[in-house]
Chain A
Amino acid sequence: MSSDDEDYLYDDDSDDSGNESTVNQDEDDDNDDFGMDIGLGEEASGSGGGGGGGLMMMVSGADKKGSDHAHPYEVLSTEQIVEHMVDCIKEVNSVIQIPTTTVRILLNHFKWDKEKLMERYFSDSQEQMFAEAKVVPPYKLGAKAMVAPDLGGRGVSLSAKSTLECEICYLTLPKSLTTALECGHPYCNSCWTEYITSKIMNEGASQSIECPGNCDILVDDVTVMKLVKDSKVKLKYQHLITNSFVDCNRLMRWCPAPDCPNAVKVQFVESRPVKCRCSHLFCFACSENWHDPVRCVLIKRWIKKCDDDSETSNWISANTKECPKCKATIEKDGGCNHMICRNQSCRADFCWVCLGPWEPHGSSWYNCNRYDEDEAKNARDSQEKSRAALQRYLFYCNRYMNHLQSLKFENNLYSMVKDKMDEMQQHNMSWIEVQFLKKAVDILCECRRTLMYTYVFAYYLKRNNQSELFEANQKDLENSTEHLSEYLERDISAENLVDIKQKVQDKFRYCDSRRRVLLDHVHEGYDRDWWVYTSDDITS
């Protein structure tokens, strides 16, 4: 697949012209057919499109150029997720010839691990496996011979020979209006509907709805779809099933962007950037925004640290002292060292420097001669320590936040640059000639994003030769990024236009190459174990 194709498919998300047969068919049909999609009945119609004819294959959208990631990933819509489930079921079904509804329950039981399922199926404990998965083994069904061929599902409408009393509503009804699973506990269809609806809507159950009788046989999807008529309930059921499918599947992840219905599927799990069709760029391994060069564990810690109030308490211990008598927290905002606690019930007199009682200070109060007493020294040291830790955190946090803030104005920047591009075109430049400006903003934003995460990395890093090299790279990138940003804000006139274009282009090329150098250096460090972290429990 050439890169042009990818771009075409990638951009073209509004009309699904890239998608073929199966997807479009499914979309045309109402979701009423969901039960059929994942059940037996689908087999004939769906096989033509098999193998995901409508899937979008693309190469990593984030770093198209210098990326090491040659492995394609897919962005899947809800329909495509369902299709994947169907494929998965079919694959198993073609090996072990049992009804697809049963396969689906088994697959769910094994968290959609096909190999595990087959291994158990072909082992000695097959019967036990069916019991654990809460289904009646298909070979036991022959004895009942009640499966109406036209229904396909495990739910069986009994023939209308006589009547029976529904054990839920106590109404006596013709058998034709009742349904039983293979376990043979019949209930009337309307009670079934009400039961399943309440399980789905109130308990959020999808794969774990049991027969109401004194048994734990699970209700299959075809039966659910046959009995439930309300489209809202069906939709929720579909959603619950796809959700559990994606959650169970290690190779799939929901796009974390708000309200985005898509999931991303990779070929193996690793920390890598993936870009959803909604254009959200995130790390597949941890779902955070893509955070190169810092690793998932560290970005998790950092985010937790920033969210936590831990730094508040750090500030308190760095900037306040406690009254030695009543332990009230005190911030000194001026005045002498003779403190009188304002707590009305305390009123302790003490020295701010040594925290000892004021009395013995006598006349030499200004030069507190009790300063180097061990206890005071310890208190001093620990305060010093937390003050230093706070300073360090604030240093990195400030720089991180700066870039984060700048990135928030990304959209403004793009619209500003668009105005500039219009302006330049009025100065007799062609459309193609002014594209460098957009490119410059692209690179500026990428640099800022990278820089932002370098401060997280640096915060957890212990000093050594390599870390100094890293800091030099960081400094250089920081400088050139600022220059690039400045250039973009300059006014453009007819005279300086050519000059500015040259400068901007030189600068963004430089920035881009420096960014790569920095990232490569960090990655090399990971490979060669150069990085030493400030805390022992960090493993890279």
Chain B
Amino acid sequence: MAGLPRRIVKETQRLMQEPVPGISAIPDDSNARYFHVVVAGPEGSPFEGGVFKLELFLPEDYPMSAPKVRFITKIYHPNIDKLGRICLDILKDKWSPALQIRTVLLSIQALLSAPNPDDPLANDVAELWKVNEVEAIRNARDWTRTYAMGN
């Protein structure tokens, strides 16, 4: 297998040296393209206090194509489905090789602070978020308490 591209080596180094506040991303011991990510629920959001695990994988042609990111911890969010897949433009058609793991993680953090029910992935969640935001936020808090706290 070919060595790790310089881009990935450097990006990893920088990520370790100056981590994003509230986020940790650590490469797997056996696969430097696979990252164990932990995101803290942003303050003021229904996910506050929760600790969300994600996986991030840099595909063969990274940075020409976007990293693959998925929530492992269950989360009640209109743009994240029950398999943890994320609806985020920079992970799809708006990806650019000038973006980085850091920018992706920051965007995900921002998505937790500002859910966008108008561009839903989990339809039932988005529906409720629009019709009855109070109940939707309560659900999100419940899920955070049930699945994202405790360990």
Q: Which residues of A contact B (CB under 8 A)?
A: 167-171, 185, 187, 191, 194-195, 198, 202, 210, 212-214
Per the bound structure, the CA–CA distance linking A203 and B97 in Å amounts to 14
How would residues 93 to 114 of chain B score, 1 for a CB under 8 Å from any chain A CB and 0 otherwise?
Answer: 0001110000000000000000
* A168-B7, A169-B7, A170-B10 known; A194+B98 contact, CB < 8 A: no
Contacts of B64 in A (CB 8 A): 194-195, 198
Per the bound structure, the CA–CA distance linking A185 and B99 in Å amounts to 13
B7, A170: Cβ atoms closer than 8 Å? yes
Closest to A199 in B: B64
Least distance between B3 CB and chain A CB atoms (Å): 14
Least distance between B7 CB and chain A CB atoms (Å): 5
Per the bound structure, the CA–CA distance linking A195 and B63 in Å amounts to 9
Asked if B28 lies at the interface with its beta carbon under 8 angstroms from chain A, I say: no
Per the bound structure, the CA–CA distance linking A191 and B11 in Å amounts to 16
Least distance between B75 CB and chain A CB atoms (Å): 28
The A-contacting residues of B in range 57-83, CB under 8 angstroms, are 61, 63-65
Partner of B5, one of A169, A185, A195: A169
* A191-B97, A210-B96, A213-B98 known; A168+B63 contact, CB < 8 A: yes
Per the bound structure, the CA–CA distance linking A434 and B11 in Å amounts to 82
- 17 pairs across A/B with beta carbons < 8 Å? A167-B98, A168-B63, A168-B97, A168-B98, A169-B5, A169-B7, A170-B6, A170-B10, A170-B11, A187-B98, A191-B97, A195-B97, A198-B65, A210-B96, A213-B96, A214-B96, A214-B98
Closest to B9 in A: A170
The A-contacting residues of B in range 1-20, CB under 8 angstroms, are 5-7, 10-11
From B10, B61, B63, B98, residue with most partner A Cβ within 10 Å: B98
Closest to A170 in B: B10
Partner of A185, one of B63, B65, B98: B98
Least distance between B16 CB and chain A CB atoms (Å): 15
Contacts of B97 in A (CB 8 A): 168, 191, 195, 212
Partner of A198, one of B10, B61, B98: B61
- For the complex of A and B, the 5 pairs showing the least CB-CB separation, nearest first, are A212-B98, A170-B10, A212-B96, A198-B64, A168-B97
Least distance between B33 CB and chain A CB atoms (Å): 16
Closest to B98 in A: A212
* A195-B64, A198-B61, A198-B64 known; A169+B6 contact, CB < 8 A: yes
Per the bound structure, the CA–CA distance linking A165 and B5 in Å amounts to 15
Q: In terms of DSSP, what is the predominant structure of the interface of chain A?
A: loop
Closest to A214 in B: B98
From A194, A198, A212, residue with most partner B Cβ within 10 Å: A212
Per the bound structure, the CA–CA distance linking A378 and B63 in Å amounts to 68
Per the bound structure, the CA–CA distance linking A118 and B45 in Å amounts to 50
- Since A168-B63, A171-B6 are in contact, a sample of 10 more A-B pairs with Cβ atoms closer than 8 Å, ordered by chain A residue number, is A168-B98, A169-B6, A169-B7, A170-B6, A194-B64, A195-B64, A198-B64, A202-B65, A212-B96, A214-B98
Q: In terms of DSSP, what is the predominant structure of the interface of chain B?
A: loop
The A-contacting residues of B in range 114-131, CB under 8 angstroms, are none
Contacts of A187 in B (CB 8 A): 98
Contacts of A167 in B (CB 8 A): 98
Per the bound structure, the CA–CA distance linking A195 and B62 in Å amounts to 11
Per the bound structure, the CA–CA distance linking A213 and B61 in Å amounts to 18
Contacts of B6 in A (CB 8 A): 169-171
Least distance between A457 CB and chain B CB atoms (Å): 46
Contacts of A214 in B (CB 8 A): 96, 98
Contacts of A213 in B (CB 8 A): 96, 98
Per the bound structure, the CA–CA distance linking A413 and B65 in Å amounts to 57
Least distance between A219 CB and chain B CB atoms (Å): 12
Least distance between B64 CB and chain A CB atoms (Å): 4
Closest to A194 in B: B64
Least distance between B133 CB and chain A CB atoms (Å): 32
Per the bound structure, the CA–CA distance linking A202 and B65 in Å amounts to 10
Per the bound structure, the CA–CA distance linking A167 and B63 in Å amounts to 10
Contacts of B96 in A (CB 8 A): 210, 212-214
Per the bound structure, the CA–CA distance linking A212 and B43 in Å amounts to 32
Per the bound structure, the CA–CA distance linking A370 and B64 in Å amounts to 76
Contacts of B98 in A (CB 8 A): 167-168, 185, 187, 212-214
Contacts of B5 in A (CB 8 A): 169
Least distance between A206 CB and chain B CB atoms (Å): 16
Per the bound structure, the CA–CA distance linking A213 and B5 in Å amounts to 20
Least distance between B45 CB and chain A CB atoms (Å): 25
Least distance between A211 CB and chain B CB atoms (Å): 8
Contacts of B11 in A (CB 8 A): 170
Per the bound structure, the CA–CA distance linking A171 and B11 in Å amounts to 12
Contacts of B65 in A (CB 8 A): 198, 202
Per the bound structure, the CA–CA distance linking A81 and B5 in Å amounts to 42
Contacts of A170 in B (CB 8 A): 6-7, 10-11
Closest to A171 in B: B6
Per the bound structure, the CA–CA distance linking A191 and B64 in Å amounts to 9
From A168, A191, A195, residue with most partner B Cβ within 10 Å: A168
Closest to B8 in A: A170
From B6, B61, B64, B97, residue with most partner A Cβ within 10 Å: B97
Least distance between B93 CB and chain A CB atoms (Å): 9
Contacts of B10 in A (CB 8 A): 170
Closest to A168 in B: B97
Per the bound structure, the CA–CA distance linking A202 and B95 in Å amounts to 14
Contacts of A210 in B (CB 8 A): 96
Contacts of B63 in A (CB 8 A): 168
Least distance between B95 CB and chain A CB atoms (Å): 10
Per the bound structure, the CA–CA distance linking A171 and B8 in Å amounts to 11
Contacts of A168 in B (CB 8 A): 7, 63, 97-98
Per the bound structure, the CA–CA distance linking A487 and B75 in Å amounts to 81
Per the bound structure, the CA–CA distance linking A133 and B10 in Å amounts to 36
Per the bound structure, the CA–CA distance linking A129 and B93 in Å amounts to 24
Least distance between A170 CB and chain B CB atoms (Å): 4
Per the bound structure, the CA–CA distance linking A171 and B98 in Å amounts to 13
Per the bound structure, the CA–CA distance linking A537 and B92 in Å amounts to 42
